[in-house]
C-alpha cells in the first residue's frame, strides 16, 4: 500500500510512519523539517508545510513522482498552544487551527480527486481525546480537534459512494510529546490572573504525557487499520482512565464533569508535586 503521511518528523507521526514501514507499506512522509531523501528504514522524506497551499501541492507532485498513486493518507501533523481562553490571542488560535484542522482540509482536498479516480482509498485523521472533551488551558488544541471530529463525520458520509474510507484515530496521552510543537501563549506570565492555575494545569499535562502510553503501540494500531478490509469510523487509543473520562463526560451533568476535571488538573499542590517551573518551556 502507498501511504502518504503528514507530521512525520517527530512524536506520534514518526512512530506511526515507522510502524507502517515495518508493516511493509511504502511510506511517503512529509514534514517542514524534511529536505527530501530516504530514511535508513526506507521511508521517503519530503518537505511539507500543511499550512501552505503551495507546499501541499509540491508535496503531492513529488510523491506522485515516487509512486503514481496514493492508497492511504495518514494525517498526524499538529501543534499545541497552552494558555488561558482570555489571554490566548486570536493569532495563536489561528496558528493552531491552521495546522491541526485546516492542514487536514488542505491535504484531503488534494488527495480526494486522486482517490475518486482510483475508485477508493483510505484517510486516517489524528484527532485526540481532546476532540471529545475539554481540559483547562488547552482551548486552542481542543477547539481544533473538535473541528476535526465534526469535519470527519461529514467527510465519512460524503465519500462513502466513492469507496473512500475515513477513520478518526483518537489518542490519549503518549510518551512522545515533541517540545518543538508545544507552544505557550505569549501572555502567560506571573502577571496573569490565571498564573497559579496555569502552572498547576500545565504541570499535570506535562506529567501525564511523560508517563503516557507507548507510542509504538499507537503506530502499530494504525498499521493494523491498513490491513482491515473495512476501517472503523473511530479508533480510540488511550488508557482505561482516559476512556473512562470520555464516558463520564457524556454521562454526567456538565457542572459535575467540569468540577471533576478542574479538581484533577488544578488541585493545589500538584504544580509542586510534578515540578512546575516559573518559566514554562517551548514558547
Task: Point out the catalytic residue in the list 93, 141, 151, 194.
Answer: 141
Question: Quick check: is 141 catalytic?
Answer: yes
> Does residue 145 have an active-site annotation?
yes
Task: Give yes or no for a contact between 246 and 134, defined as CB atoms under 8 angstroms apart.
Answer: no
Q: By CB neighbour count within 10 A (0-12 exposed, 13-18 middle, 19+ buried), where does 23 fall?
A: middle
Characterize 255-273 residue by residue with b for buried, 16 or more Cβ atoms within 10 angstroms of its Cβ, and e for exposed.
Answer: eebeeebeebbbeeebbee
Residue in the structure block whose three cell numbers are 535508513:
40
Set 29, 84, 93, 127: catalytic member: 127
Q: For residues 108 and 123, is the Cβ–Cβ distance under 8 A?
A: yes
In a 13 Å sphere around the CA of 265, the CA atoms on its Cβ side amount to 19
- Annotated catalytic residue within 145, 151, 176, 270: 145
Active site residue 127: yes
Of 8, 6, 122, 24, nearest to 71 by C-alpha is 122
DSSP states of 36-47 as a string? Answer: SEE-TTS-EEEE
CA–CA distance, 136 with 265 (Å, rounded to integer): 7
Return the active site residues: 9, 127, 141, 145
Amino acid at each position: 500500500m502507498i501511504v502518504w503521511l503528514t507530521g512525520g518528523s517527530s512524536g506520534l507521526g514518526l512512530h506511526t510512519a515507522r510502524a507502517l514501514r515495518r508493516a511493509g507499506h511504502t511510506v511517503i512522509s512529509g514534514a517542514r523539517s524534511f529536505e527530501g531523501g530516504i530514511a535508513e528504514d526506507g521511508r521517503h522524506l519530503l518537505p511539507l508545510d500543511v499550512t501552505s497551499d503551495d507546499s501541499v501541492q509540491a508535496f503531492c507532485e513529488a510523491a506522485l513522482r515516487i509512486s503514481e498513486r496514493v492508497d492511504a493518507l495518514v494525517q498526524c501533523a499538529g501543534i499545541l498552544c497552552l494558555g488561558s481562553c482570555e489571554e490566548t490571542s486570536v493569532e495563536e488560535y489561528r496558528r493552531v487551527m491552521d495546522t491541526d484542522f485546516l492542514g487536514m482540509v488542505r491535504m484531503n482536498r488534494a488527495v480526494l480527486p486522486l482517490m475518486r479516480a482510483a475508485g477508493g482509498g483510505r484517510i486516517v485523521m489524528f484527532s485526540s481525546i481532546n476532540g471529545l472533551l475539554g481540559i483547562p488551558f488547552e482551548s486552542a488544541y481542543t477547539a481544533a480537534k473538535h473541528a476535526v471530529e465534526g469535519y470527519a463525520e461529514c467527510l465519512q458520509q460524503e465519500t462513502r459512494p466513492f469507496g473512500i474510507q475515513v477513520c478518526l484515530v483518537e489518542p490519549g496521552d503518549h510518551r512522545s510529546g515533541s517540545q518543538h510543537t508545544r507552544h505557550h501563549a505569549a501572555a502567560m506570565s506571573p502577571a496573569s490572573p490565571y498564573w497559579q492555575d496555569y502552572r498547576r494545569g500545565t504541570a499535570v499535562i506535562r506529567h501525564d504525557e511523560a508517563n503516557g502510553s507507548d507510542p509504538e503501540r499507537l503506530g502499530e494500531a494504525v498499521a493494523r487499520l491498513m490491513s482491515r478490509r473495512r476501517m472503523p469510523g473511530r479508533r480510540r487509543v488511550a488508557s482505561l482512565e482516559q476512556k473512562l473520562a470520555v464516558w463520564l463526560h457524556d454521562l454526567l451533568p456538565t457542572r459535575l464533569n467540569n468540577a471533576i476535571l478542574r479538581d484533577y488538573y488544578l488541585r493545589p499542590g500538584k504544580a509542586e508535586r510534578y515540578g512546575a517551573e516559573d518559566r514554562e518551556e517551548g514558547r
